[in-house]
């Protein structure tokens, strides 16, 4: 997998399950992650984030992350507007 390519949860969860199957068959983590084409570091990062999730839960997580990002942008815009209005009210412009 090329560096920097963001995988979707729908792709990651089946890969995690595949690694778990391989580990159950007695393979090492190194062998198992090589089979799915990622590094051990990526595997552990995915496992930490998506380890116990089902596909529908992963989709919901993605939706919530997207909504959270949108709300943070809205809050930043509102704070900027508030700061501008405060400066105008204080006569700095």
Domain-wise residue ranges, the chain: 1-53, 55-93
d(CA 56, CA 63) in angstroms, rounded, equals 11
Identify the band that residue 6 occupies on the pLDDT scale cut at 50, 70 and 90: low
d(CA 19, CA 23) in angstroms, rounded, equals 6
Q: DSSP 3-state assignment of 16?
A: helix
Greatest CA separation found in the chain?
72
**What would the pLDDT profile of 42-75 be if each residue is shown by its tens digit?**
999 999 888 776 778 878 888 898 999 999 999 9
d(CA 58, CA 38) in angstroms, rounded, equals 20
Which of 59, 46, 56, 58 lies closest to 18 in space, CA to CA? 46
pLDDT of the residue at 2 = 52
User: Comparing 9-13, 54-58, 79-83, which segment has the lowest mean pLDDT?
Assistant: 54-58
pTM exceeds cut of 0.75? no
Q: Which CATH class is domain 1-53?
A: mainly alpha
């Amino acid at each position: 997998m090329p560096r920097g390519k963001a995988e979707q949860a729908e792709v990651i969860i089946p890969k995690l399950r595949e690694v778990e199957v391989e580990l159950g068959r007695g393979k090492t983590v190194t062998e198992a992650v090589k089979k799915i084409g990622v590094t051990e570091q990526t595997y552990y990062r995915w496992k930490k984030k998506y380890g116990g999730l089902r596909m529908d839960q992963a989709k919901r997580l993605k939706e919530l992350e997207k909504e959270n990002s949108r709300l943070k942008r809205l809050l930043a815009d509102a704070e900027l507007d508030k700061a501008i209005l405060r400066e105008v009210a204080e006569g700095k412009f």
